[in-house]
């Protein structure tokens, strides 16, 4: 089989983890063609972002301290992982070239005293530049040929939307298939850095946080992989957060659309665009635990088998949000009201998580993160209060509860079962939305009620018996 295995940062955070990965890849490569995609070592991307914040605050010392911390962590890992002195020496030389470039970049940014989206992408790309070398050399150390490639080197070409770039798929496909086919032909295992690519001028770009998942599926679709495996530190997608619901179960099979919804809401964070490259080619994905390889994980496919077509597959929740009820007499029948409200919020960089408007048009209710609430209310008051808005009513600390499952589509009685179960627990519902896809039913309760609501729904739909 042709496989793309993507390792998240927590799966490669110690010397032992990396050696285990190398040994596993060694075994797997005996019968399969493998491309590895990896994230930065856990915590490194956060450190790099903190460096950029220190530069903005003109705190040169802090930026240098953080860089020194990143460098010493990688040197320590290199020394712990690699047993053969010649290979270790080569690895340290390669890492050192990156360290010099990282330090010069930081020095340059400090001198300029500014962080642009372009320089930020360049800076945060170092996490993956370093991790691929540790992994590739540890495979070399056990006697297998391997090469490390950054997103740019493997051939990922993107637009110049720094921080949130999009791959130019046709060019990317041509370049990646050429690069990877050559490595396969030479029996070399490519280790590709996730998260980054380069625009047509060669400037490094990133796909946004968690973007390595997306890199894995881009590569998988370009080389016509048979499967993509996302390796992390959890067993797969679950029926609910096991920290809240003790009898939560692992989901054996879900569809691409269900997985996309679960990625947005669920405990396992997956980059939102991850499934796009797989859909057209119907490439299956497995979400697996690198620390529990006996477990097959969750299979994400185009068409899950009949037995797994439950009405509801998962109850997830997002806590710590705020609800704003926007009211105003002149809102009724006035075209453009919603546009003004959302344009105002967008201008302040606020992400709106849920929206509902009742048919009488006298109010629009939105949900934003608690941390955005202040900014949102302020922007709406400054721009629109007394004009189209008469009154804002704010509720802090609310949770969004979402039920996900494509079997809900066209099934009568789901809503009554949901709200019946909630009513029995005497939990008040502040807002409800269901998209016309009927794939996701979401509602809002008080944060303090969220665990009760999640458990009640998990019980009502008997999700502990799902498989």
Instruction: Give the interface segment with Mg ion, choosing from 35-43, 93-101, 151-159, 427-435 (CB under 5 A).
Output: 35-43
- Return the C-alpha torsion angle 249, 250, 254, 256, nearest 10: 120
Find all residues with CB under 8 Å of 368, minimum gap 6, and list them.
321, 322, 324, 345, 350, 351, 352, 353, 376
- Give me the least distance between CB of 392 and Mg ion, in Å please: 37
- Binding site residues, ligand ASP, CB under 6 A: 9, 39-40, 45, 127, 194-195, 209-212
From ligand ASP, Mg ion, none, which one binds at residue 127 (CB under 5 to 8 Å depending on kind)? ligand ASP
Assess 150 for contact with Mg ion (CB under 5 A). no
Q: Give the helix ranges, DSSP H, for 142-211.
A: 151-154, 169-185
- In whole angstroms, give the CA distance from residue 3 to residue 157: 22
39 contacts Mg ion (rule: CB under 5 A): yes
Residue 340's binding partner among ligand ASP, Mg ion, none (Cβ under 5 to 8 angstroms by kind) is none
The option from Mg ion, ligand ASP, none interacting with 220 (CB < 5 to 8 A, set by class) reads none
Q: Which residue is nearest to Mg ion (CB)?
A: 39
Judged by CB, which is closer to ligand ASP: 232, or 406? 232
Q: And the tokens for 52?
A: 């950029």
Residue number with CB closer to ligand ASP (22 or 130): 130
Q: How far is the CB of 11 from Mg ion (least distance, A)?
A: 10
* Pattern 210-239, Mg ion, x by CB under 5 A: ------------------------------
195 binds, among ligand ASP, Mg ion, none (CB under 5 to 8 A by kind): ligand ASP
Contact partner at residue 266 from Mg ion, ligand ASP, none, CB < 5 to 8 Å by partner kind: none
122 or 195: CB nearest ligand ASP: 195
Number of helices (H) and strands (E) in the chain: give both, helices first: 15, 17
Cβ proximity to ligand ASP: between 50 and 447 the closer is 50
136 binds Mg ion (CB under 5 A): no
Residue with smaller CB distance to Mg ion, 9 or 197: 9
Is residue 131 close enough to count as binding Mg ion by CB under 5 A?
A: no
- Nearest C-alpha neighbor of 260 from the set 163, 367, 402: 402
Q: How far is the CB of 95 from Mg ion (least distance, A)?
A: 21
Residue listed under structure tokens 């790099």 = 48
d(CA 71, CA 410): 55
Q: How many CB atoms neighbour CB 344 within 10 A?
A: 18
- Kindly state the helix (H) or strand (E) to which residue 95 belongs, with its residue range: helix 85-112
| Rounded Cα–Cα distance for residues 190 and 199 (Å) | 22
Residue 297 interacts with, from Mg ion, ligand ASP, none (CB under 5-8 Å by kind):
none
Query: Using CB distances below 5 to 8 A depending on partner kind, what does residue 322 bind out of ligand ASP, Mg ion, none?
Result: none
Q: How many residues does the chain have?
A: 467
Beta carbon nearer to Mg ion, 8 or 151: 8
Pairing of strands 196-199, 204-206: antiparallel
Q: Residue 40 binds which entry of ligand ASP, Mg ion, none, with Cβ cut-offs from 5 to 8 Å by kind?
A: ligand ASP
- Which H or E run includes 219? helix 212-222
d(CA 49, CA 164): 15
The nearer residue to ligand ASP, 151 or 328, going by C-beta atoms, is 151
Residue labelled with tokens 């105002």: 344
Q: Given the complex with Mg ion, which of 39 and 440 has the nearer CB atom?
A: 39
Q: 210 vs 328, which CB is nearer to ligand ASP?
A: 210
Q: Helix axis angle, 450-460 relative to 414-424, nearest 10°?
A: 130
- Nearest to residue 36, comparing CAs of 236, 211, 220, 233? 220
Least separation, in Å, of the C-beta of 18 and ligand ASP? 16
Query: Shortest gap between Cβ of 462 and Mg ion (angstroms)?
Result: 33
Identify whether the C-beta of residue 215 lies closer than 8 Å to the C-beta of residue 207.
Answer: yes
Selection from 226, 207, 256, 401 nearest residue 316 by Cα: 401
List interacting residues with Mg ion (CB under 5 A). 8-9, 39
């Amino acid at each position: 089989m042709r496989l793309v295995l993507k390792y998240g940062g927590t799966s490669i955070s110690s010397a032992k983890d990396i050696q285990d990965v190398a040994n596993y890849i060694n075994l797997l490569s005996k019968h399969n063609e493998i491309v590895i995609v990896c994230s930065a070592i856990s915590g490194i991307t956060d450190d790099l972002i903190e460096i950029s914040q220190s530069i903005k605050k003109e705190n040169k010392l802090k930026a240098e301290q953080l860089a020194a911390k990143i460098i010493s962590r990688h040197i320590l890992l290199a020394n712990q992982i690699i047993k053969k002195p010649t290979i270790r020496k080569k690895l340290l030389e390669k890492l050192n070239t990156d360290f010099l470039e990282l330090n010069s970049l930081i020095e340059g940014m400090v001198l300029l005293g500014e962080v642009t989206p372009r320089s930020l992408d360049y800076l945060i790309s170092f996490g993956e530049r370093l991790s691929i070398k540790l992994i590739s050399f540890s495979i070399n150390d056990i006697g297998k040929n391997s090469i490390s490639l950054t997103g740019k080197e493997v051939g990922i070409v993107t637009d110049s939307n720094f921080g949130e770039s999009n791959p130019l798929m046709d060019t990317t496909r041509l370049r990646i298939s050429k690069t990877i086919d050559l490595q396969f032909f030479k029996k070399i295992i490519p280790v590709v850095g996730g998260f980054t690519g380069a625009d047509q001028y060669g400037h490094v770009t990133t796909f946004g946080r968690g973007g390595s998942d997306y890199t894995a599926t881009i590569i998988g679709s370009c080389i016509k992989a048979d499967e993509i495996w996302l390796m992390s530190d959890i067993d797969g997608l679950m029926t609910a957060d096991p920290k809240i619901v003790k009898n939560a179960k692992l989901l054996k099979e879900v569809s691409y659309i269900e997985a996309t919804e679960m990625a947005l809401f669920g405990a396992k964070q997956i980059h939102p665009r991850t499934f796009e490259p797989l859909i057209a080619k119907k490439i299956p994905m497995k979400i697996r635990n690198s620390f529990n390889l006996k477990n097959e994980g969750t299979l994400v496919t185009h068409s899950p088998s009949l037995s797994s077509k439950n009405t509801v597959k998962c109850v997830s929740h997002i806590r710590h949000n705020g609800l704003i009820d926007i009211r105003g007499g002149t809102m009724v029948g006035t075209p453009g009201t919603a546009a003004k409200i959302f344009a105002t919020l967008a201008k302040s960089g606020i992400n709106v998580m849920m929206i509902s408007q009742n048919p009488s048009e006298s109010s629009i209710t939105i949900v934003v993160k608690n941390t955005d609430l202040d900014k949102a209310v302020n922007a709406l008051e400054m721009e629109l209060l007394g004009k189209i808005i008469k009154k804002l009513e704010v509720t802090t600390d609310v949770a969004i509860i979402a039920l996900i499952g494509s079997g809900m589509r066209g099934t009568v009685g789901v809503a009554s079962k949901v709200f019946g179960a909630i009513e029995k627990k005497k939990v008040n519902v502040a807002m409800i939305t269901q998209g016309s896809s009927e794939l996701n039913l979401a509602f809002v309760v008080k944060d303090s009620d969220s665990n009760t609501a999640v458990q009640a729904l998990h019980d009502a739909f008997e999700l502990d018996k799902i498989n």
